[in-house]
Amino acid sequence: MTGISLTAYGKINLSLDVLHLRADGYHELATVMQSVALGDSLTFRVNDTGTVNLECNKPELANRDNLVVKGAQLLRERFCPKQGVDIHLEKRIPVAAGLGGGSSDAAATLKALNHLWGLGLSTSSLVAIGAELGADVPFCLVGGTVLAQGIGDKLTLLKPAPTLWLVLVKPPGGLRAGEVYQCWDAGKWESNHYTPGVLAALEGGAPPYRLLQKVGNDLERAVKSLLPEAEEIEQDLLQGGALKAMVSGSGPTIIGFVADEEQAIKLANSLSNKYPEVHVTHTI
């Protein structure tokens, strides 16, 4: 086989607890991560030039700093220095949005090239390599409903969450995770420890409305400090009928949890004139 196409699914955090700052400069986390249907499409074709080439529908992303290129180069240099690949990335997940788009693209790249280049690496080996690329890459290699601990590299598979319909609203611009965590440290906030409640709801098979009573994100305080319009978006979602609204990951995207697909489409349509990036999706 010389070619393969994969979908790289986005993610949300049903909980995100920032526990403490580690000696290595990273933050110890406990977070329940969840895959969503919104995804990027990637096509990989082996070439005979021995180079890694990336094309993207958003040309500004087709550079050597893209995690897709970094992941391919890492595998190539470590296991098969003469191999090459041409990659096309069709970007749909908003960039720098707290939805794991870059990490998911990197995970798809590791899986695709493991297959195309015949590397025979196990999932656990790919997870270890993925952790070198970014904290969310290990989860994106596994997907579903997962408890992530440490810096995101210690994964425990959970009972699947019930299907949740979502409206995602991304403010103009983006936030980098590093600046959000720096703001968290400066604020000297304490964790609200959302994760135990979410875990208990999932384990007990709680219906969506009870699960939504437990979800939450410690980093919401930092995101709103850096981006005050996040609060306005949350209020717009709630006033439009969302059952719950909160920041996704390190932001700045705001998740609106709604009752069903019809409500999601109606709410998204009402907000699309005010906000440039509004997406309807659901958990998978």
Give the active site residues.
11, 136
Helix (H) or strand (E) holding 9: strand 3-21
What's the sign of the alpha-carbon dihedral 114, 117, 118, 121?
negative
110 near 141, Cβ under 8 Å?
A: yes
State the Cα–Cα distance between residues 97 and 76, nearest whole angstrom.
29
Contacts 24+ apart (CB under 8 A), 263-272: 263/165, 264/165, 264/166, 264/167, 266/241, 267/167, 267/237, 267/240, 267/241, 267/242, 268/167, 270/240, 271/167, 271/169, 271/236, 271/237, 271/240
Helix, strand, coil shares of the chain, percent, nearest 5, are 35, 30, 35
Place of tokens 């717009």: 236
Contacts of 118 (CB under 8 A, 6+ apart): none
The HSE-up count of residue 239 (CA atoms within 13 Å, CB side) is 8
Angle, nearest 10°, between helix axes 229-239 and 261-271? 130
